[in-house]
Amino acid sequence: MRTSTAKTRRKSSAQVERAELTAHPGRGLRASKTPRRLPGALSAPECERLIESCDTTRPLGRRNRALLEFIYSAGSRAAETAALDLADLDLQRGIARVRGKGRKDRLVAVGAKAREALTTHLADPLRPAPRDGRAIFLNARGGRLTTTQIYTHVSIERLREVYERSHPHA
């Protein structure tokens, strides 16, 4: 529909310019918007496989494990997780303060597996030193992890999982 509407407008404009038409029949036509669908959620077993796929023998794998465990446990958004500071986290009580949309704070529960992964990640001697001294999740240079980096990580891990499931002997 979208293409035919655009073609009609262009053709009508040309015909009006050449004086073949006195009125523009394409004026007022609106292209229909394609509905945007939300991405599907992962099932619990898929989330577990994704979390288990992190290589915890390496610093980035330990960070990724803590990141995914936190997101899964707390139900936090990528932006909330990226903005998480050390002062926002109370591992003993199992709670964290996340700053959500509209700069509103909320308290979230942090499960036992997430607390364990976060403790391991924060105590890691190979973890880069945070540039600002506050961020929990860091990139390889010590800067705060961005939402784009989180999305990329999750997407790459998800692709790897799907590939390995589809090609078990590769």
Local structure of residue 93 (DSSP, 8 states): T
Closest CA to 91 of 60, 56, 54, 66: 66
Bridge partners, residue 138, by sequence: 144
Full-model pTM = 0.68
Do 26 and 60 lie in a common domain? no
pLDDT for the residue numbered 1: 46
Do 31 and 65 lie in a common domain? no
pLDDT for the residue numbered 84: 93
Bridge partners, residue 90, by sequence: 95
Do 92 and 130 lie in a common domain? yes
Single-letter amino acid code for the residue at 143: G
Do 31 and 1 lie in a common domain? yes
Residues 6+ apart with CB under 8 A from 35: none
Q: Does residue 96 surpass a pLDDT of 90?
A: yes
pLDDT for the residue numbered 81: 93
pLDDT for the residue numbered 9: 74
Do 13 and 79 lie in a common domain? no
∠ CA 169-45-91, rounded to 5°: 120
Do 19 and 74 lie in a common domain? no
Do 117 and 158 lie in a common domain? yes
Do 21 and 57 lie in a common domain? no
Do 19 and 97 lie in a common domain? no
Do 23 and 59 lie in a common domain? no
| CB-based contact 2:32 (threshold 8 Å) | yes
Do 161 and 132 lie in a common domain? yes
Q: pLDDT band at 45, cuts 50/70/90?
A: confident
Average pLDDT of the segment spanning 119-146: 90
Residues 6+ apart with CB under 8 A from 84: 70, 76, 96, 98, 135, 136, 137
pLDDT for the residue numbered 35: 80
Of 93-97, 150-154, 165-169, the one with minimum mean pLDDT is 165-169
Determine the structural domain holding residue 72 and report its residue range.
44-166
Percent of the chain clearing pLDDT 90 (strictly above) = 38
Do 69 and 121 lie in a common domain? yes
Which CATH number goes with the domain that contains 52?
1.10.443.10
The number of folded domains in the chain is: 2
